[in-house]
Structure 1
Amino acid sequence: MTKWLNINFWNFVARTLLRNRHWVLLLIALFTIFMGTQWKYIRFTQTEANLLPNDHKDNIAYTDFLKKFGEEGNVIIFAVKSSDVFKPTTFKAWNNMMASIAKNKEVEGVLSFNEIQNLVKNDSLQTFQLKPFIDQNKVADAAYLDSKKHDLLNKMPFYESLLFNKKSGVVRSVIYLKKDIVNKPERKEFVLNKLIPAIEEFKNATKTDIKVSGMPYIRTLNAKAIISEIGLFIGATLLVTSLIFYFFFRSFRTTMMALFVVMIGVMWSFGFLGLLRYEITVLTALVPSLIVIIGIPNCIFLTNKYHQETRAHGNRAKGLQRVLTKVGTATFITNLTTAVGFATFIVTNNKLLQEFGIVTSINIMALFVLSLFIIPIFFSFMPLPKEKHLEHLERGYLVNFNKWVINQVKFHNVRVYAVSLALIIIGIIGVYKMKISGSILEDMPKSTDFFEDIRFFEKEFKGVLPVEIMIDTKRKKGVMKISTLKKMEELQEEIEAIPELSKPISIVNLVKFSKQAFYNGNPAFYDLPNSQEQAFILPFIKNSSKNSKNNPLKSYVDSTGQYARISTFMREVSTDEMNKVEEKLQDRINKLFPKERFTVTITGKALLFQKGTSYLLDNLIESLIFAVFLTGALIFFLFRSAKMIFVALIPNLLPLLATAGLMGYIGIPIKPSTILVFGIAFGLSVDDTIRYLAQYRQELVRNNWKIKKSVFSTLEEEGSSMFYTSIVLLFGFSVFTLSDFGGTVALGGLVSITLLFGMLTNLILLPSLVLSLNRSLANEQEMKEPRIDILENDDDPDAVVEEK
């Protein structure tokens, strides 16, 4: 009954398509136009990837910090050698550049040499006053500027690490963006259209090298690089896959047909992004290219089947009808398993991956419908393929490859299993060598100028990734108690002793600066006041905060005086190193700040990303297990054989283990980009397994349930399609190695390697397992009647379509 329904369904599809082909093409055109109208809603993400769910405790802590102190990643920093900038002409040009930048509405403030303020005591008002460090009337005097440079480097310890590196003489200026535009398009417009032109103008005028960094700057240029690569990947994948397609089929018209299908698929992929109102992220940016890579194998599979049918009987209408009735369900199932492989990302409880999984799985199924509609219609307009177009079915290299595969399965079972066992052992050992990396900078393009600047700031100022420590004293005005300040100072000393972290800044630095000012600027008194001094120094600080329009305390203490922050920067480190740093800090915090009196939180984007990577790893392992379970359930449903679950999964899990082991041996860490490899590769590789088993079952029926004969006839029938599609996928994903992003390179290379392993295991290990597990059942039926016939063996004589 199910078989009859299956045949009649695909006969109905074939009849409807070919008799209404003009209307079908019109509907496709109209839908494509509609999807094109959705492009206007496409936006690029303005925030970093948040890998933790909103209700995660670390995310809650970070959100609480933002409520108290606002966005911490709003700083853009410039650095230059002091010997270059403290020259009258260069100094003037620098000040002009900073003044022009400060005028922009996106800028909250600027801290540069011209804006450096010295803290001066006013005894009559019992307050501290900020006075300019540089006298603008003397900036043309080289000797004066040289003396001020000396004073800055030797008499202003408050600005050390903040504005200069005393050892190297590198000085820097800081731009503070308005916090409400940091995660909005205005940030991008400011950086690209206002900041960078101002920098280039200064460079051209003074021939001075400037290093620029800071999270708003890094994020903007990184996003620009991602956008520029979307077109590169689409073009490269179209070129590579079309060349391979033409090499296989030697038909320009058929190649154009395949390109037409995938190009419409690419247009739809952008349309779905707009329709769902999803932003383009580092993951969704890959979707259009994935559609090309996955779409071409669909075209190969259907074209190959059509050529096989027309060679067999020379009737175009019958060939098209048989393509749909014989492989329609198989094509649907293989696309479904691929879509399921991506859809499992939805269960990760991570917005970034959920959106990637949703939009990719929808596009894969839409591409299936597109391929199934356009390819038969295309061939219905074309004459029968010529003999030269069918030569690929018996091409020398393909015949020799098939002979080699059959030889391995027929005569070298022991070798096949020995190699498989060796790969399992080697893979397991390699897995234990794998490391986890969760740095925001890990996958950024290493060859760009802005990444070289990041390395410069890591060397000179120990990094640009913000790390924040928020201290809740659990009482109003508790921060300014001298006992609290001393605890904070001890914690800052611990931070300063950690090589991965920069010199911190907090209210403690301001209080020390105030004491120095109280003693007429003598740097020897840059220290916290003792119990005697606090009685007459703290009133000066309080009066200063009341009288100042720009309260210097507000960035480091909240309005109630209950919460304080300690800000530092971190260089790029591995997850293990970051965990050690956090443990050190946490141990010191526990000793200094009793939990009954204080609540201390370590947070910041860099730390959040590190923790998100570990969380993501756990979730993606769960999603991969879920994908394996779904695939196993699908295979059982299709073949009604528990044995087939084992036979199908082993050849697809072995390549994943081998790739994981390879990552451990060559030092590719587990990170968000490389974690995706396993789910993507599994979803694609299992397609070959289902095609093989589906054809194998058909061959069993055809060969009167003779297992050995069916195994090898299946290889002869399906080997070429499995080889072709695997090669296209392999070379298609290898295009991603052209990227400047380390994560994208790793994704492309590792998926390609895994698919190569998968092709060999599906062609060699899979039939070997089928033979080994069924030897005791020779000449017997080892699979029950399936729920659905994936491939149809018999033709319905009434189903041949009459074309109009």
Structure 2
Amino acid sequence: MKKLLGIGFWEIIARIILRNRLGFIFGIVLLTVVLAMQWKHIRFSNTEANLIPATDQVNLDYNQFLKVFGEEGNVIVIGSKDPKLFTPKVFEAYTTLMANLAKDPEIGLVLSLENLKILRKNDSLAQFELAPFVNKTQLKDEAYLKQARAELTQRLPFYEGLLYSKDKSTLRSVVYMKKELVNTKARKDYILGRFSDKINQFEQATGVDLRVSGMPYIRSYNSKTITDEIGLFIGAALLITSLIFFFFFRSFRATLISMIIVIIGVMWSFGIMGAMGYEITVLTALVPTLMIVIGIPNCIFFINKYHQEYYKHANKAKALQRVITKTGTATLMTNITTAVGFATFIATNNVLLQEFGVLTTINIIAVYVLSLLLIPIFFSYIPAPIPRHLGHLEREYLTGFFVWIVNTVKYNRLSVYMVSIILLIFGIIGIYEIKISGSIIEDMPKKTAFFEDIRFFEKEFDGVMPLEIMIDTKRKNGALRATNLRRLEELEKTLTDIPDLSKPLSIVSVAKYAKQAYYNGNPDYFQLPTAQEEPFIATYIKNTAKGKNENLFKSYLSDDKSIARITTFIKDETGEKMPGIEQQIRQKTDKLFPKERYNVVITGRASVFQKGTNYLLDNLLSSLLFAFFLTGGLVAIMFRSFKMVLVAIIPNLLPLLMTAGLMGFLGIPLKPSTLLVFGIAFGMSVDDTLRFLAQYRLELSRNDWKIKKSVFATFDDAGISMFYTSIVLFFGFSVFMLSGFGGTVALGGLVAITLCFGMLSNLVLLPSLVLSLNKTLANEQEFIEPTIDILEHTDEELDALEEKKN
């Protein structure tokens, strides 16, 4: 059978590259300029990651809620426990702050103590009126301010959980952004600009520490942190990989061309992102740095091969040509397997992961092409390597390391298998300890001020992440019927009894407040009207709705008053309890609101995110299995041997199981960031496997199919590149541990550890398996005429081909 991508093909490629050097340089420069022009189209994400497909019922329910009640994430809260807030000078500054915020065009409403309106009964008009809570002429009287605070917390239970905490120690203001701006760039510009400036000015003038939170605020500062870290990652990755590269090769020129290649790769990644219209999210922000981490190993492999070839015959032109001719298919296939690891995310049916998979896959191949073109061209223009540049091939620390590996494989294979089995058992046991996290804020930067504020409000107000319950009575005005209000009140009691939830807000609270107002504000009457009271209070409410006062029910009822809404907040740290909490709520709603008469939807950002994590877990597990089968298929095509598929998969499966076990024992939960580890690490670890097997196949043909001699000869060639690239990948992914995001730290650390395990597995377990199975794997018939010619060709084969052509 005629081989695909065989020696003749790569000889043509080598000739084209080396004979058209200026043309390729011009083409790369031109393409870089074109892609740089696409940077202007790069946009930053203004929403959280939605991990569930748009057609899924969870998303349909959430979108229905938004359609009825509008955007839920438009609330900013400003709070403080500082008693100085109720001194005249500070309170005056605070009043001015709230007034200035209310004037901003981005703000729809500010609800605060100084502008608070309370319900009062007007018997002459038989309606309720909104009257000012405080007397603004007395705001300079400290005694009056303290009295107003006491009256708020003691006589207005309606505002508990909204304007003051359960223990009455913390007061806050609620700022409502205009809903149409919440998911736009204008929200981020406003929060990071004028809004934050006004808060900072108040704090500097008064010395009072204000706590600020709410979804618009959290999302804006979270997005800013992501943007700031892009430059940090790129700079750190360039620095650490260049230092490691120079340490290995001791050549400024080799280090320079490698840095040029990965910098161009970074520029291309931004250009491709802009050209495809993708937003910068917490995942796509990693792509430029990944191009550095993945690109440097390509450079190492090509340059190391060039040095090896030149070391043999001291012919620069011949060495450059044979870098391409001898390793073209092998390097292509290893890059394809890396791309496959990332491409599995495309099959997850999730837009966020699909975009990440598409970008990384395209850019991995692009960086490979850059390395293939620029390294031979660059070295063709500069002087040949000097002995100092070639010294890395015989360094004592490296040779000592490989002597230990060779001795282990040669004399202690039983120990290798025993250790592997122990680690396998360790991984399996640890897997059962892994928990699934549904936390939205767990991966947010914990050392930032806005994260500390999140924890403050979670402690004081029992949560910041909204959980919404929507009850459709299927009848106009049905939500206001007395029987349904009683059912809603009973459901609220269930919610109050759940310790992980805050005090619920609904039409029930409004109805209770209306009764309290009817009885002249007496807090003892903060309860639902009785059957006898309903006609009188209903008349007042009806007359109020006809007047100019705001509709009291707007936030808690649909326009036709057929759908009621209950809002509560959940502590984000209890995200893993969400399924149990929802089940508890569902049991109560099924009892109170029979399905044949009512439609109950439990939704909200906290619920959607937690369900999205479970959905992502199912999808990534299936995509990882797909990666196994796809990689196995590539190995089968390349070697035409099912046994070789098993030998290739086992050493790469073990590190994944070890990492999963480590996560379980260390308490690292499965979440969107840590779930990515396995696909990424598998795709990159398989590279070493293919390089080892390709070199092993070559050594078999060189050594008359003598297994032991061929295996140990493989270490002399492929082993060095495998070691170098693994070290670079380890430190390269460790760069992500500089992040403030817990998820990015976990991703970087876990991938680095997995790749380290993978290197040892491929250098120790893989050759041990080959030696133990040598009677079947050494069968020459299984290696004859592979479909894809991944094998590195011998000097004799290439010399014979050249003589034939000459």
TM-score (norm 2): 0.98
CA distance in 1, matches of 2:4, 2:746: 47
Q: 1:14: how far off?
A: 1.2
Shift of 1:520: 0.5
Which residue number in structure 1 is paired with residue 609 of structure 2?
Answer: 609
CA shift, 1:84, in A, is 2.3
Match of 2:292 in 1: 292
Q: 1:48 to 1:766 in 2, by over 3 A?
A: same
Tell me which residue corresponds to 1:410.
410
Aligned to 1:442: 442
Within a 5 Å distance, the mapping from 1:71-82 to structure 2 comes to 71-81=71-81
Give the Cα–Cα distance (whole angstroms) in 2 for the partners of residues 84 and 509 of structure 1: 31
Structure 1 position 233 matched with structure 2 position 230: no
Superposed CA deviations along residues 712-757 of structure 1, whole A, max 9, x for unmatched, are: 1112211100000000001100111111110011001100110010
Q: Look up the match of 2:793.
A: 792
**Pairwise mapping of residues 51-90 of structure 1 onto structure 2 (< 5 A)?**
51-81=51-81, 83-90=83-90
- Within 5 Å, which residues of 2 pair with 1:561-580? 561-580=561-580
Deviations 1:449-472 (A, max 9, x none): 111111111110011111111110
CA gap 1:651/1:563 in 2 versus in 1, 3 angstroms: same
Please name the residue that 1:337 is paired with.
Answer: 337
Query: Per the alignment, in what secondary structure is the counterpart of residue 660 of structure 1?
Result: helix
Q: Distance in 1 between matches of 2:91 and 2:120?
A: 25
Whole-Å separation in 1 of the counterparts to 2:633 and 2:177: 53
**One-letter identity of the residue aligned with 1:606:** A
Secondary structure of the structure 1 residue equivalent to 2:443: coil
State the shift of 1:773 in Å.
Answer: 1.1
After superposing on structure 2, the runs of 4+ consecutive aligned residues of structure 1 that deviate more than 4 Å are 776-782, 796-800
Equivalent residue number for residue 704 of structure 2: 704
1:795 corresponds to which letter in structure 2?
L
Q: What is the aligned partner in structure 1 of residue 429 from structure 2?
A: 429
- Aligned with 2:773: secondary structure? helix
Matches of 2:348 and 2:376 in 1, distance apart? 38
CA distance in 2, matches of 1:117, 1:414: 80
How far apart, in 1, do the equivalents of 2:481 and 2:727 lie? Answer: 69
Task: Please give the alpha-carbon distance, in whole angstroms, between the structure 2 residues aligned to 1:658 and 1:63.
Answer: 40
Match of 1:686 in 2: 686
Please name the residue that 1:113 is paired with: 113
What CA distance in whole angstroms lies between the structure 2 residues aligned with 1:126 and 1:574?
Answer: 47
Whole-angstrom distance in 2 between the partners of 1:44 and 1:778: 54
Letter aligned with residue 653 of structure 2? L
User: Does structure 1 conserve the Cα–Cα contact (< 8 Å) formed by 2:770 and 2:777?
Assistant: no
State how far apart, in whole Å, the 2-side matches of 1:416 and 1:773 are.
15
Deviations 1:322-343 (A, max 9, x none): 1101101111000011011101
Partner of 1:638: 638
Q: 1:203 matched to which residue of 2? A: 203
Structure 2 residue aligned with 1:192: 192
Q: What is the Cα deviation at residue 778 of structure 1? A: 5.8
Q: Does 1:12 align with 2:15?
A: no
Residue in 1 that maps onto 2:363: 363
In structure 2, distance between residues paired with 1:325 and 1:544? 86
1:181 corresponds in structure 2 to: 181
Counterpart amino acid of residue 390 in structure 1: L
Once residues 593 and 610 of structure 2 are traced to their aligned partners in structure 1, the CA distance between those partners, rounded to angstroms, is: 25
Figure out how many residues of one structure are paired with residues of the other and give that number: 801
Residue type at the aligned position of 1:503: K
After TM superposition, give the deviation of residue 552 of structure 1 in Å: 2.1
Report the CA distance between 1:546 and its aligned residue. Answer: 2.4
The match for 2:458 is 458
The 3-state SS of whatever aligns with 1:164 is coil
What SS does structure 2 have at the residue aligned with 1:795? helix
* Residue matched to 1:259: 259
Amino acid at match of 1:164: Y
Q: CA deviation at 1:346?
A: 0.4
In the alignment, residue 521 of structure 1 is paired with which amino acid?
G
Contact 2:3 2:785 survives alignment (8 Å): no
How far apart, CA to CA, are the structure 2 residues paired with 1:45 and 1:106?
19
- Show the counterpart of 1:511: 511
Asked whether 1:744 is paired with 2:747, we answer no
Cα gap change, 1:599 to 1:275, in 2 (>3 Å): same
Matches within 5 A, 1:714-729: 714-729=714-729
Unmatched segments (≥5 aa) in structure 1: none
Q: Report the CA distance between 1:4 and its aligned residue.
A: 9.0
State the Cα distance separating 1:777 from its structure 2 match. Answer: 6.7
SS at match of 2:6: helix
| Deviation, structure 1 residue 126 | 1.4
Q: Deviations over 1:166-218 (max 9, x none)?
A: 52421000000011111100100110111100001110111111111001100
CA-to-aligned-CA distance 1:629-686 (integer Å, 9 cap, x gap): 0000000000000000000000000000000000000100000000000000000000
Q: Tell me the equivalent position of 1:539.
A: 539
Q: Identity rate of aligned residues, in percent?
A: 59
Which one-letter code corresponds to 1:718 in the other structure? A
- State the alpha-carbon separation in 1 of the partners of residues 89 and 489 from structure 2: 40
In 2, the alpha carbon distance for the partners of 1:145 and 1:752 equals 58
CA contact (8 A) 1:651 1:766 kept: yes
| Mapped contact 2:95–2:114 kept (Cα < 8 A) | yes
- SS of the equivalent of 1:615 reads helix
Q: Is the 8 A contact 2:130 2:549 kept in 1?
A: no
- Letter paired with 2:254: T
Cα gap change, 1:435 to 1:4, in 2 (>3 Å): closer
Cα distance change, pair 394–657 in 1 and its aligned pair in 2 (3 A): same
- How far, CA to CA, are the matches of 1:399 and 1:480 in structure 2? 82
Alpha-carbon offset, residue 785 of structure 1 = 2.2
Asked if the contact 1:6/1:789 (under 8 Å) is kept, the reply is yes
Report whether the alignment pairs 1:384 with 2:384.
yes
1:573 Cα deviation (Å)?
A: 3.1
Alpha-carbon distance in 1 for matches of 2:777, 2:70: 71
Contact between 2:4 and 2:789, CA under 8 Å: does it hold in 1? no
How do 1:394-409 and structure 2 match up within 5 A?
A: 394-409=394-409
Return 5+ residue gaps in structure 2 as ranges: none
* DSSP-derived class of the 1:161 partner: coil
- Of stretches 115-124 and 210-219 in structure 1, the one that deviates more from structure 2 is 115-124
Which amino acid letter does the alignment assign opposite residue 634 of structure 2? L
Name the residue aligned to 1:280.
280
The answer as to whether partners of 1:688 and 1:759 remain within 8 angstroms in 2 is yes
Q: Distance in 2 between matches of 1:64 and 1:230?
A: 36
Pick closer, same or farther for the CA change 1:4–1:154 going to 2, 3 Å.
closer
Per the alignment, residue 521 of structure 2 pairs with: 521
Structure 1 777/682 Cα, relative in aligned 2: closer, same or farther at 3 Å? closer
Task: Give the Cα separation in 2 of the matches to 1:22 and 1:387.
Answer: 29
Q: Deviation per CA, 1:495-554, whole angstroms, max 9, x where unpaired?
A: 111111111111111111110000011000000001100011112112212223531211
